[in-house]
Amino acid sequence: MGMSTRHVKRAFKYRFYPTHEQAAELARTFGCVRKVYNLALAARTQAWTLRQDRVNYNATSAMLTAWKKTEELAYLNEVSSVPLQQALRHLQAAFTAFWDKRARYPRFKSRKKSRKSAEYTTSAFRFRDGELTLAKMSDPLDIVWSRSLPEAARPSTVTVSQDAAGRWFVSLLCEDPSVMPLPEAGDAVGVDAGLEHLLTLSTGEKIANPRHERRDRERLAKAQRELARKAKGEGANRAKARRRVARIHARIADRRRDHLHKLTTRLVRENQTIVIEDLTVRNMVKNRKLARAISDAAWSDFRSMLEYKAAWYGREVIAVDRWFPSSKLCSACGTLQKRMPLNVRTWACECGATHDRDVNAAKNLLAAGRAVTACGAGVRPQRESSRTGRSAAKQETRGATRGLLCLRAREDVNSAAPGRVRR
C-alpha cells in the first residue's frame, strides 16, 4: 500500500483567544474574504449566462488585482492577500465539484449565515517555537494546545474560524507520521443506520441512539423563545439572545461529534471491511415528521468520518446502492417480500426464519458487499451515486440482488463438494 510510504495530512484544531486588535483584524479579513468570493462568483455567473464563457481561477485572480485598485474596493488592501487568493481557489474547487456533478451550483455567502473563516498558506504565517503569528499581526495567537502536534510538524495551511457561538478556532494542516495502516483484520461487518437505534451491526449488536438534541430540547426552545421576543435588527440584546441559542447548538454538536468519532474509530479498528447503505440524507430530511430525528442522527457525518479513517488505516468502506432491498430480503433464503412498512420491526419468512428488521438489513448489506468481490455485481462504491438517475439505480439494485444470489450459490456448492471447506 502507498499509505505505508507516505504521511497523511491531518488537521489539528485548537481553540484560541484573540486580543481586541487581533479579533478586529480577523473580522475585517472574514468580511473581505466573503466579498471577494461573492464578487468572483457574480463575475463567473454573468460570464457564463451572457457569453457561455467559463472564467477560471487565473482570470478571477487578475480581477482581484483590478478590484484592489478601485476606490470602492481599496479596503481589500488592508488585509493579507493570501486569504483572498485562497477564497478564489475554494470557488474554483466548488465549480469543479459542480461540473463533476458532485455538488450544487456555488451559492453566495451571507454575512449573517455563512461560516466565518480565512485560510493562510505558509507565506502568510510564522510558526516557531510553538507560537503561531498570522500576517498583519505583531503578536502570536493565544492558543490552548489541548493536544500536541506531531513531532517536528510544519503546518502547510492554517485556517482561522469563528463559530456562531463566538468561539475562535485555528486549524493547522500537518503531515502526521503516526497515521499508518493497521494490521489486517479478517472481520467484515454490515452496518444499518436507523433512528430507534443509531446503528445495527450484522453481528446482532445494536448501538443506542443518544438523541443529543432531545436532551437539550427544552433549554433550546426557551432560548429560541427569548430570541423571538427581541426586536429584529442589530440590537445588543438580540445579539446576546442569538449567541445563547448558538451556544446550545454548539454544545449539542460537540457531543454528537465526539460520539461519532469514538464510534467510527472503533468500527475501523475492529473490521477490515465495513458495508453501509448509500443513504440520500438530503432528500430524507424533507420528511417533516422525521427531519429533526434524521438531522440529530447525523448519518452524513458518520459516513464521512468512516470513509476518511478507513483511508487512513487501510480499511475498506463499501456503500450499497440505496435501492437495494436490504429490509425486505430474507437473509436466510433470499426471498423478497412484497411490502415492508416502517412499523414492522420483526417479521417471519416463508422459510420459517424470524427476522429482526434492522439485523436482517445489516446481514443483507454485508452479503451484498461481499458480492462485490465474489461476482462483481452492482454495488456502488463510495459516493458516486449522485451522478446517475433512478433508472440506473434500479438496474444496480437488480445487479446487487443477482450478485447476492450468485454468492450464496457458490457457498452452497462449496459446502456440498466433498473435501472442501465452506468459506
d(CA 250, CA 267): 26
Kindly tell me the burial class for residue 392, based on how many C-beta atoms sit within 10 Å of its own C-beta (0-12, 13-18, 19 or more): middle
Given the residues 278, 307, 321, 358, select the one marked as catalytic.
358
Which of the 8 DSSP states describes residue 346? Answer: E
Given the residues 192, 213, 296, 307, select the one marked as catalytic.
192
Residue 206 CA, chain-centre distance (Å), reads 23
Given the residues 277, 278, 307, 321, select the one marked as catalytic.
277
Angle 262-266-268 from CA coordinates, rounded to 5°: 120
Cα separation values, 387 from 23, 207, 383, Å = 42, 32, 9
In this structure, which amino acid lies at residue 252? I
Are the C-beta atoms of 48 and 54 separated by less than 8 Å? yes
d(CA 393, CA 223): 44
Residue 373 CA, chain-centre distance (Å), reads 27
Neighbouring CB atoms inside 10 A of 379's CB total 26
d(CA 166, CA 26): 13
Angle 347-348-349 from CA coordinates, rounded to 5°: 125
Q: Which of 175, 186, 188, 183 is nearest to 314 (CA)?
A: 183
3-state secondary structure 54-115: CCCHHHHHHHHHHHHCCCCCHHHHHCCHHHHHHHHHHHHHHHHHHHCCCCCCCCCCCCCCCC
C-alpha cell at 105: 451550483
Is residue 277 annotated as part of the catalytic site, yes or no? yes
Give catalytic residue positions.
192, 277, 358
